[in-house]
Each structure stands twice: as C-alpha cells, then as structure tokens.
Amino acid sequence: MDRLQELGDLYAETSGGDPWAWNQARGPFLGHLTADTRRPGFSLLIAETTALTGYAYGFPTGGSGPWWAGFDGHVRGGLLRRAASGPLFVVSGIVVPPRVRREYRDHVWNLARRLQRRLLADHGAALGVALVDVRDGRTVETMRSWGWRYAGDDGLQAVSPGPFRILALAPGT
C-alpha cells in the first residue's frame, strides 16, 4: 500500500497528545493496519480534498472463523444469527479529525457516518461490527453517537465483553 505512511501520519495527528505520543501510537497502528490489509476482502475508503481528510477500513467476515477466535463465551447467538442472514463487515478503523468526532456527530452528512455507511453498502453487509477496547470510553461514546450500538442492544445479546466492547451497526445508519 503506497499511502501507508500518509495514513499513519493522519492517524497520529488525530489521535491526540503531543508529537511524542503521536510517534508512540503510530507504530502499533501501522502494524494493525498492515495486518488487516492482508485479510480477504480488505477495503479502504479514503476521503480527501486537497489532502487526506479521513478514512475508514475493514473486511468482511462470517459468523465463524479466525476473526472470532477468543470471543467464545463473549458473543451470544443473536449476533451470530444476524451473520447467517448476510455477511458481517468488520469496521477496523475510522480515522477522522477530532472536530468530526465532536461536532454534528448525529447528522447524516458527518464524514465518519458517510464513510461507515459507504463501507457497509459497498460490501452488501447485513451488519457492521467493531471491537473497541473496554478502557476506551471516548471511542465507544463517539461510535455510539455515529449510530453504533452495543451488541446487546436490539436483541443482539452479548455477555461480559472481556477486553473489548462489541459494537454493531445496521446498514444505512
């Protein structure tokens, strides 16, 4: 991927903190992104004007397989039954400037909301799923403002989340 460094730069700039914190966050992020690019069906959606302004990425998955490894006992049948009705799409990341995370989060034209809708629509996903570290309350709050719900909402039941919160997003949200 020839834009990898540019993607890492935007991630670092939008992750908060000082330049030292950016460098600390950038390396692990690029490692995760590189690993995701190797997954079958990986998709990256970029938003730009004269410069990169945001991006979202992920990959399709079914109700079983290696992506779910380690979640035994954390995901109940409701989410997996939804997977049987059509493909799930794992949204691994949505990287947008801080103002997009703070302002107009519930508006349909919000950049993050447009990126996530497009990823799901492009892949015909029955449901989007995302994992967020349980210690990252800010990201959970932001994603919920973009229409994501806990996997336990709306009849999708989850037990103790372990190290992650499992969020779900209906297409068109």
pLDDT at 155: 47
pLDDT at 82: 58
Angle between helices 4-14 and 19-37 (to 10 degrees): 130
Q: Which residues of the chain fall below pLDDT 70?
A: 1, 17, 62-86, 152-162
Tens of pLDDT, residues 96-115: 988 887 777 777 788 999 99
pLDDT at 148: 92
Q: 3-state class of 80 per DSSP?
A: helix
pLDDT at 65: 59
CA 82 vs CA 6, 46, 72, 108, 123: distances in Å: 36, 28, 17, 24, 16
Global pTM exceeds 0.85: no
Beta strands 88-95; 127-133: pairing state: parallel
pLDDT at 55: 95
122 has which bridge partners?
Answer: none
Residues in CB range of 17: below 8 A, 6 or more apart: 25
Contact 115, 94 (CB under 8 A): yes
Single-letter residue type at 87: P
